[in-house]
Amino acid sequence: MWGGQYAHPPAEIMTEINASIDVDKALYAQDLAGSIAHAQMLAAQGIITRADADAITRGCEQIRREIEDGAFIFTPALEDIHMHVESRLKELIGEAAGRLHTARSRNDQVALDLRLYVRDAMDAADAALHGLQRALARRAEEHAGALMPGFTHLQSAQPVTLGHHLLAYVEMLARDRGRFADAHARLNESPLGAAALAGTSFPIDREATASALGFTQPMANSLDAVSSRDFALEFLSAAAVCATHLSRLAEEFVLWSSSAFGFIRFSDGFSTGSSIMPQKRNPDAAELVRGKTGRMFGNLIALLTVMKGLPLAYNKDMQEDKEPVLDSARTLLLALGAMTGMAEDFSAQTETMEQAAASAYATATDLADWLVRELKMPFREAHHITARIVKLASGQGLGLHALPLEAMQSVEPRITEAVFGVLDARKSAESKTSFGGTAPAQVRAQARAWREKLA
């Protein structure tokens, strides 16, 4: 394709390092869509004949079928998906294939292909996130009243409900979807027609190709169009944040399903065994989601590093943009699918959770609040008195609800029998009626609102 002034072929190692077809063949659908839109525009503008444009379109559609049927032959000698398409097109339709590249460069072509791929990846991620949200919202409504301990520093803090805990992830995933939507809007401008870097002298219609490919408009600067990859960085960044949320939920699934916690149990379909310990039920899917998050971070850092020192416009370094994007797109969908499966699969061990919610003096804050509310005590003083009562109960090996009234009155004489009404874990959770709180009524309302929204 570019060998007019070269007397000898590339060195073997040059062919190996220069070829990207093993990676960018994944962009075949986007490349063919761009080629068809470009050919039809060239014909509409009178730059090539309608017959040539239609032959190109038919040839591209045949190439698509061949690739999807596994009949297409890829070879490193043709470097990338663009050269493969053009070469095969020439075999299919002859001389007309050579007119496809009129007013186009591989620079704007690859920028277009990757934008289209990332746009598709964002749409797929959004659909998968929607599915996980629906699963979590359904389980949250199912377990709106299931008590469990809420944690800070992984220490039992206050009673919450499992439904409340799951809805926290529904909210996180909503923000993930928002990040993808924001990035999608900025991405959705077409680089096609920027050519190598300076635009073209042919009377092309960039608005037509942008519209044909579903973009809102063409990019306004040809240098920017071929050299920018911030759309890919935004995708990788949003994917990395999303993976962080998935990893946190995966970590909790690992903890909750352990024998030490015993809060949830996965079916055989989402458990694996041990080659030596027959009793094991390992949450490997959750562990793998947690582990794959590191790859997602690495992909973002890899492309940031590639782009940070590049002058305008295109540089061959940018060939390294595809592998991290393709890997993160595949990995994110796999992780979302696994987490959705686990969210739908687990069974909650509600008795174990409720016992844990009532332990470790989890209603101590409720006692402090009672002192403030009933005895008009400043909160800092109430906090100090509560801490002394907890210490007293701990020394006797009793929970707060089991500590005799006389023992509490030895610390604060004005405490009455009414205090026991706030020392029960369930009553504690039910009392948190503020908007966004863990009261089961609040959780049910939030879960139903999310289910309606997601429906």
Catalytic residues: 153, 274
Q: d(Cα 109, Cα 42) in Å, to the nearest integer?
A: 15
User: What SS3 class is residue 152?
Assistant: strand
The two beta strands, 264-265 and 347-348, are antiparallel
For 334-364, the three-class secondary structure string (H helix, E strand, C coil) is HHHHHHHHHHHHCEECHHHHHHHHCCCCCCH
The two beta strands, 217-218 and 189-190, are parallel
Fill in the DSSP letter of residue 281. Answer: -
Segment 404-412 long-range contacts (CB within 8 Å, at least 24 positions apart): 411/385, 412/371, 412/375, 412/385
Q: Are 147 and 354 in contact (CB under 8 A)?
A: yes
Longest dimension (CA), the chain: 100
CA distances from residue 85 to 52, 103, 182, 241, 323 in whole angstroms, order as listed:
16, 17, 33, 36, 20
Q: Are 50 and 96 in contact (CB under 8 A)?
A: no
Q: Which two tokens stand for residue 335?
A: 């992780």
Burial 215-230 (b: 16+ CB within 10 A, else e): beebbeebebbbbbbe
Q: d(Cα 174, Cα 242) in Å, to the nearest integer?
A: 10
CA distances from residue 391 to 8, 125, 148, 349, 367 in whole angstroms, order as listed:
85, 50, 23, 30, 13
- Cα 410 to the center of its chain, rounded Å: 54
Work out the number of other CB atoms within 10 angstroms of the CB of residue 136. Answer: 28
